[in-house]
Amino acid sequence: MRHSLALFLLLTLAACSIFEPLPDGSAPLKQMPVEEIYSQAKEELNDENYESAIKLYETLQSRYPYGRYAQQALLEVAYAYYRQGEAESAVSAADRFIKQYPNNPHVDYAYYVKGLANFHGEVSLLQSLGGQDPTERDPKAAQDSFAAFKDLVTRFPNSKYTADSRVRMQYLVNMLAKHELHVAGYYLRRGAYIAAANRAQGILTQYPNSPSTRDALEIMVQAYDAMGMTDLRDDARRVLAKNSGASDSPAGNEIPAGETKSGKSWWQFWK
């Protein structure tokens, strides 16, 4: 009898905790329908309270794992992580969306968020070229960003995010070429002439339209000259002379601004 009474009291308290309103008068999340949870998460996202928005979106996904709200929540979680500066979490959420909903009409945005997350995580690193051994830098984030934008451009050429992705791809190409140029110069200064020439040659092969090609040719001239390889040196000089009139700052050498002109790049499945 005593155990039965204790169990009854325990169940009563549990029931009260479930249905008792929160201090602000709102219903607890356990009792809120999916529409209200999503609406609260959306409001937090609009107010740039990304951490709160993420928690609400993840609660929604755990309680309502199927349907359009779950899909929208996963995509907006990726965006929230990106805006919060958590690139790995943003990419992970975007990858889950791509894997789970490959035929979703808005899957192009998942690729876009992947590109943006790695793009903003890498730009400052590649721009900070002084005071550190360039061979120690890992350009993987920039390469991953480029790959995500390339997937978007290739798979969805008519996407509203394609034009911006192309601009960012050109910027990444120029930055990656500049990174390689610094590595080649590093080898040249230390007398590793073969490595310097090979790295510079790689710039001409991988990034032929970047503004770093002329500097790469100059490194090749110096490296081949130091090794006594006069034929290769003269070949590099001839190519350098032919490209002497090229512009130092081709289009795409400036970092793009925000995701869109309005600064907002996320959307809804429905109006």
Residue 16: other Cβ atoms inside 10 A? 9
Tens digit of each residue's pLDDT (9 = 90 or more) over 183-236: 999 999 999 999 999 999 999 999 998 999 999 999 999 999 999 999 999 999
Global pTM exceeds 0.75: no
Q: How is residue 145 written in tokens?
A: 């960003």
Tens digit of each residue's pLDDT (9 = 90 or more) over 113-157: 999 998 876 555 555 545 554 445 678 888 899 999 999 999 999
What is the Cα–Cα distance from 153 to 258, expressed in whole angstroms? 18
What is the Cα–Cα distance from 97 to 87, expressed in whole angstroms? 15
Those residues with Cβ within 8 angstroms of residue 170's Cβ, 6 or more apart along the chain or in another chain:
251, 252, 253
Torsion sign (Cα): 100, 103, 109, 112: positive
Could you tell me which of 92, 47, 41, 95 has the C-alpha nearest to residue 64?
Answer: 41
